[in-house]
Chains A and B, each alone.
Chain A
Amino acid sequence: MLGTTWLAKLRGGLAACGLLAVAACGGAGGEDGPVTVSVWAWYPEFKGVVEAFNASHPDIKVEWTNAGTGADHYAKLKTAITAGKGAPDVAMVEFQQIPTFVILDALADMGEHGANEDEDLYAEWAWKQATDGEKVYAIPVDGGPMALMYRKDLFDQHGIPVPATWAEYAEAAVKIKAVDPDAHIASFGSDGGWLNGLMWQSGCRPYGYSHTTAKDQVKINLTAPECERVVDLLGDLVDKGLMAKDPFFTADATAALDSGKYWTWAAAGWTPGYLAGSLKNTTGKWAVAPMPQWTAGADEQGDWGGSTFTVTKQAKNPKAATIVARELFGKSEAAWDIGLNKAFLYPLVKDIAADPAFTGKAYEFFNGQKVNEIFVPVSQKLGDFQFTPFQDFVYSELDDRSAEAMTGGRPWGTVLEETQKNVVAYAEQQGFKVSK
Chain B
Amino acid sequence: MSRRIPAIVIALSALIAMTAAVLAGNLLAVSDGPFEDAFAAHNGAHLAVTGTNLPASAPGVAASAGPYPLAMVTARSREGFEIPLAIAGREEGGGIDALTLLDGRWPAADGEIVMSALPGEGPPPPGFAFTVEGRELTIVGTAYSVTGTASAWATPAQAAAWAKGRTQMLYRLSDPEAVDAAKAALGPVEAAASWLDVKTAAERDTGVYLPFLSAFGVLGLVLSGLVVGNVVAGAVSGGRRRIGVLKAVGFTPAQVVRGYVARALVPAAVGVVLGGVIGNLGAVPLLEAAGEAYRTVPSGPNPPVTVAAAIGLPLIVAVVAWAAAARAGRLRTVDALAPARATGRARGRRAAALAARSPLPRSVSLGLARPFARPGRAAAVLLAVALGAAAVTFAAGLATSLGEVAAARSHGLDVTVEAHDDPAGVAAKLAGHRFYGSRTTERIVSGRNTDVTGLTGDTALAGYRMTEGRWFSAPGEAVAAGPFLAATGTAIGGTVTVEGTTLTIVGEVFDTRFDGMRVLAAAGDLGMEPDMFYVAGATADEIAALGLVAEDSGDGGGQMIGALNAIAAAFTVLLVAVAGLGVVNGVVLDVRDRARDLGVHKALGMTPRQTVAGVVASIAPAGLLGALLGVPAGMALHTYVVPAMGSGAGTKLPVAALEVFGPGLLAAVAVAGPVIAVLGALCPASWAAGVRTATALRGE
A complexed with B = no
